[in-house]
Structure 1
Amino acid sequence: DNSIPSQFQYICDEIFKNKNIHLILCGSIISMMYEYTLSYNSPLYGRRTSAIKLEALEFKYLKDFFPNKTKNELIEIYSVFYSIPKYLELINDKGDIYENIKANILNPNSYLYNEASFVLQNEINEPITYFSILKIIASGEHKIGNIASKLGKSPNNITSFIDKLIELDIIYKIIPITEQNPEKSKKSLYFIKDNFLRFYFAYIFPYKSQLELDNTDYVINIIKTSFMEFISRVYEDLAINYLLNTHKDLLKCGRWWDKNTEIDAVGVAKDYLIVAECKYKNKAVGTNVLEDLKAKATKIDSNLPIKKYILFSKSGFTNDLKALASDEIQLIELL
C-alpha cells in the first residue's frame, strides 16, 4: 500500500508530536526499507532519530539456543542455518545436522526450501543472472574474472551485478590483509556473507530438479561428501573473529594470499604480526602443518616481525606438536 509512508508521516507529525512514544519500523527487505523510510523522496525522510542495520547473531550465542549441543555440532548448525533466530527455531535439538537439513531445507514443503528465492527476488530485477553468480561463488570461485568466465561474459559485464550484491550485503569483497592501498588492489575475492545463502546456492539451487523428484538422498549424499570442506571456510571466519576478540591490540585481521600461497588468518598489530592456520578435519594436526605455516609466513609482504604462530584444529594435535606449544606457538581446538 503506497499510502502507508504518508500515513506514518501524519502519525509522526501530528499524533506523536507531544507524546512519549518511540515508534520502530522494522523490515527485512533492504531496498524497500530504503525506498519507503530513508530515501529523500519518502514522506518519512528526515523524521528518523536512528537507523539500525541489524546483523545476524554472533556465533557465541548459539549455545544459548542449544545448550546440549557440542561445539562441533554448533559449528555445523552455524554453517548451514547461520544465526537467524527464526531458522534456529526450526531445528530439532535431538536430530543431527543431516536430519535437520533434510527436514527443514531439502523438503520442497519446508519453510526454508524457497527462502533464498523469496528474499532475493524482492531485492533484484534479474534473478537468473544474480542466482547464477551466487551459485558460482558458492561453488568455490571467488575471482571476478573466473566468475565472469563461468557465465560466458567479460568481467565488465557483471560488475554492476557484483556491486548490487555488495550493496544488498549479500556478498562482500576481501583483499589480502596486508595490502597498503586496498582501494587500488587488483587481488579482490568475493564471498557470500550469509552462511545459509551460501549453503543454499552450493547444495539446493543446483539440485532443485532432483529435490522436486523427491530424490533427497541423492542430494544428502552430495552434501556429505563435501560438507567438511564447506564448513572449513566458516571455521576460518570464526578463527579470524576469535583472534580479533582475544588480541585487542590487533588493528585488523583477515586472510592473506599471493599467486601461489594462502594463509587462513593474519593479524596485523602496530608492531607485529600473528599468523594462523585452520584445519577442520577428522585428523590431529601435526608438526608438518606448523612448518608449512612458518614457510608460508616468510612470503608475507610486510616488514613487521611475526610474534605468534597459531593453529586451530577440529580434532586436536599430535603429541609432537603439543610439545612445541609456547607463547610463540599456540594450539587451539574447537572455538
Structure 2
Amino acid sequence: MGRQKFVDRERELEFFERAYSSGRAEFLVIYGRRRIGKTELLLHFARDKPHVYFLATEKPYRENLRELQRLLAEFLGDELFGKVAFDDVDELFMAFADRIGDERVILIIDEFPLLVEHYRPVLSLLQKAWDLKLSKTGVMLILCGSSVSAMEGEVLAYKSPLYGRRTGQWRLTEIPFFYLGEFLPGYTVEDLVKTWGIVGGIPAYLLQFDPRKGFDENVVEKVLSKGAFLYEEAEFLLREELREPANYFAILQAIASGRNRFGEIVNATGLDKSLVSKYLAVLQRLGIVEREVPVTATLKAMSKRGLYSIKDNYFAFWFRYVLPNKSYLEAGLGERVWKHSAEDFNAYMGSVFERLVRTPEVFFRLTGFRFTKIGRWWRKGEEIDIVALNEREKTALFVEVKWKELREREVRGILKDLERKAKLVGLDEWEKSYGLVAKGIKGKEGLREEGWLVWELRDFERLISSKLQL
C-alpha cells in the first residue's frame, strides 16, 4: 500500500527536543523491538535540523565505515574529508568533531548492534572518541538499535565501555490504543479493539491493514495468507533476536496452549528447568512474555504463584491461529481457517479486552481512578480481572471485564458477585468501589444513577475522539 503515517510520539519528541536545546553535547541511546517506528521517529525529529543519518548494514565493518565517512563528508560539503584514510571509527569521529566544533549537529547511528557484531572494538573506539572530542562539541549523538538484548547488554550494561557516557535513553514502546483510529479511519471501536488484539500498537503492522477493507478481510489477507508480511513475521523476529529459536518456539507454543505455570511449561517442552527459566527471562525482557502474580501478593508468595502469558498481541495471535493451522494456510485456506476460528477468537478476545482495559493509560482514562498499583487477583479458584489500588489513600477499585453484550440483570449479578470476591482480597479498612467494563450494557444509565460504575465500548469512542492526555 505504501502508506506513510506518523502518529502520536509526543512524549518522545518532547524528550528529543529537550535534549536538542540543552546547549551541551548529548549521547542518547534509543532502542525497541523491530517495526516499532524508531527510524521514522528519529527522522521526523531531525528533518528540519542539521543531521547525518547512517544505517549500519550486514556488510563488513570497513565497508560500513567507508559509507559513514562518505555521509559525513557530504554533510560537511568537503570532498577531501571523504578521501582521507582513517584507520578506524575513533579517528573518523574525532576529525568530524574538529570540523563541527560548537555547531549543533545530530548524528544518528541506526542499527548500531550490527557494527558491534562485526567489530566489537567499535564500543571502545566510540568511547575514546566521545571522551576525547565529541563530548566537547555541539554534537547530539544518537545510537539506535532493534536488538533489545544487544542494546541493553552491549551499550547500556555496566560492563559496556560506553557505560556512564550516555546522557539519556528511551525504550520505544507501542502506540497507545486510543491512536489506532488514525491508522484505520472508519473502523468501529469494536474493530479497533479486535485489530489491537492481533497486531497491538506496532505501527508497521497497523500499516499493513487496509482501512478500505473490513476487519475480517484484512485478517485473512494480511495475516493468514502465505506470502503476507505478517504471515511469517513472528518466525523472522525470533530468528533475528534469539540464538536458539527452536527452544523459544517450544516455550511460546506451550504458553499459547494454556500452560501458564512454570512446571507446566517445563513438562510441555521437555527442557531443563534452568534453561526454561533463562529463556523465560529473555522473553520477558523482550516484552513478548509477561509473568503475573496476584496484585496483593507478598514478595514470598510472588516467587511461587506466577502465571506466564504472551504479552505481545501479535505473537499471541500468531501462536494461536497461524502456527497450528500452517498446513491449511499453506494450501491457501486462510478464509476457511478464519471462519472456523470465529468462536475461539471470541474467547481469545475476552483475555485481550481484559488486558487492554488493564493497560494503565486506558484504565485511568476510562475510570478516572488514580492508582499506585494495578493487576489481576486470584486465589483458590476465585479471580478478579482488575484490582486497582491507591496505597496512599487506601482506596481500591475492583473491576470485571466481559467481551459480551450484557443485560441489566446480568450486570447486577456480576457486580454482586464481585462484591463477594472483593471481601476475599482483604483490605478491610479500605474504601472500595466496584465496576464492570463490557462490550455493551443495556440499561447502563439506570445502573449509573444507582451508583454502579459501568462502562462499554461507546465510552471508548468518546475517549478516542477526545484523546485525553494523562
- 1:87-166 to 2 correspondence within 5 Å? 87-152=205-270, 155=273, 158-166=276-284
For 1:104 and 1:91, locate their aligned partners in 2 and report how far apart those are by CA, in whole Å.
Answer: 7
Give 1:304 deviation, angstroms.
3.9
Partner of 1:297: 422
Amino acid at match of 1:74: L
Change (3 A) 1:305 1:36: closer
The superposition leaves residues 261-296 of structure 1 with CA deviations (integer Å, 9 ceiling, x where unpaired) of: 111111112323211111102444622222222222
Give 1:155 deviation, angstroms.
4.8
Residue 251 (structure 1) aligned with residue 372 (structure 2): yes
- 1:190-229 to 2 correspondence within 5 Å? 190-229=308-347
Residue 260 (structure 1) aligned with residue 381 (structure 2): yes
For 1:158 and 1:247, locate their aligned partners in 2 and report how far apart those are by CA, in whole Å.
Answer: 40
Residue 310 (structure 1) aligned with residue 428 (structure 2): no
Residue 330 (structure 1) aligned with residue 453 (structure 2): yes
SS, match of residue 299 in structure 1 = helix
More divergent stretch after superposition (217-226 vs 153-162): 153-162
SS, match of residue 26 in structure 1 = strand
For 1:58 and 1:264, locate their aligned partners in 2 and report how far apart those are by CA, in whole Å.
Answer: 21
User: 2:293–2:302: 8 Å Cα contact kept in structure 1?
Assistant: no
Change (3 A) 1:284 1:151: farther
More divergent stretch after superposition (113-122 vs 71-80): 113-122
The superposition leaves residues 99-153 of structure 1 with CA deviations (integer Å, 9 ceiling, x where unpaired) of: 1111111222111222111211222222122112112222333222222232245
Residue 277 (structure 1) aligned with residue 384 (structure 2): no
For 1:162 and 1:326, locate their aligned partners in 2 and report how far apart those are by CA, in whole Å.
Answer: 47
Amino acid at match of 2:420: A
Amino acid at match of 2:325: Y
Change (3 A) 1:323 1:117: same
For 2:158 and 2:377, locate their aligned partners in 1 and report how far apart those are by CA, in whole Å.
Answer: 40
SS, match of residue 441 in structure 2 = coil
Change (3 A) 1:100 1:8: farther
RMSD of aligned Cα (Å): 2.6
For 1:180 and 1:43, locate their aligned partners in 2 and report how far apart those are by CA, in whole Å.
Answer: 38
Give 1:86 deviation, angstroms.
1.0
Please give the TM-score of this superposition, normalised by the length of structure 1: 0.88
Partner of 2:65: none
Residue 230 (structure 1) aligned with residue 348 (structure 2): yes
Aligned residue among 131, 138, 154 for 1:20: 138
User: 1:78–1:195: 8 Å Cα contact kept in structure 2?
Assistant: yes
The superposition leaves residues 35-57 of structure 1 with CA deviations (integer Å, 9 ceiling, x where unpaired) of: 54334565544432222111111
For 1:217 and 1:64, locate their aligned partners in 2 and report how far apart those are by CA, in whole Å.
Answer: 27
User: 2:290–2:310: 8 Å Cα contact kept in structure 1?
Assistant: yes
For 1:102 and 1:85, locate their aligned partners in 2 and report how far apart those are by CA, in whole Å.
Answer: 19
User: 1:178–1:302: 8 Å Cα contact kept in structure 2?
Assistant: no
Runs of 5+ in structure 1 lacking a partner?
none
User: 1:179–1:185: 8 Å Cα contact kept in structure 2?
Assistant: no
SS, match of residue 323 in structure 1 = helix
For 1:102 and 1:10, locate their aligned partners in 2 and report how far apart those are by CA, in whole Å.
Answer: 52
SS, match of residue 253 in structure 1 = strand
Change (3 A) 1:136 1:330: same
Please give the TM-score of this superposition, normalised by the length of structure 2: 0.65
The superposition leaves residues 230-275 of structure 1 with CA deviations (integer Å, 9 ceiling, x where unpaired) of: 1221211222233344445322111110121111111112323211
For 2:198 and 2:428, locate their aligned partners in 1 and report how far apart those are by CA, in whole Å.
Answer: 39
Identity of aligned residues (%): 32
User: 1:29–1:119: 8 Å Cα contact kept in structure 2?
Assistant: no
Amino acid at match of 2:454: L
Residue 37 (structure 1) aligned with residue 155 (structure 2): yes
SS, match of residue 150 in structure 1 = helix
For 2:336 and 2:254, locate their aligned partners in 1 and report how far apart those are by CA, in whole Å.
Answer: 21
SS, match of residue 200 in structure 1 = helix
SS, match of residue 404 in structure 2 = coil
Partner of 2:296: 178
Partner of 2:184: 66
For 1:265 and 1:42, locate their aligned partners in 2 and report how far apart those are by CA, in whole Å.
Answer: 40
Give 1:17 deviation, angstroms.
4.8
Residue 57 (structure 1) aligned with residue 182 (structure 2): no
Change (3 A) 1:332 1:10: same
Runs of 5+ in structure 2 lacking a partner?
1-60, 62-117, 461-470
Aligned pairs, how many? 333
Give 1:85 deviation, angstroms.
0.9
The superposition leaves residues 144-200 of structure 1 with CA deviations (integer Å, 9 ceiling, x where unpaired) of: 222223224575552222122122222111111111336744111112221111111
User: 1:244–1:252: 8 Å Cα contact kept in structure 2?
Assistant: no
For 2:371 and 2:300, locate their aligned partners in 1 and report how far apart those are by CA, in whole Å.
Answer: 18
Change (3 A) 1:276 1:129: same
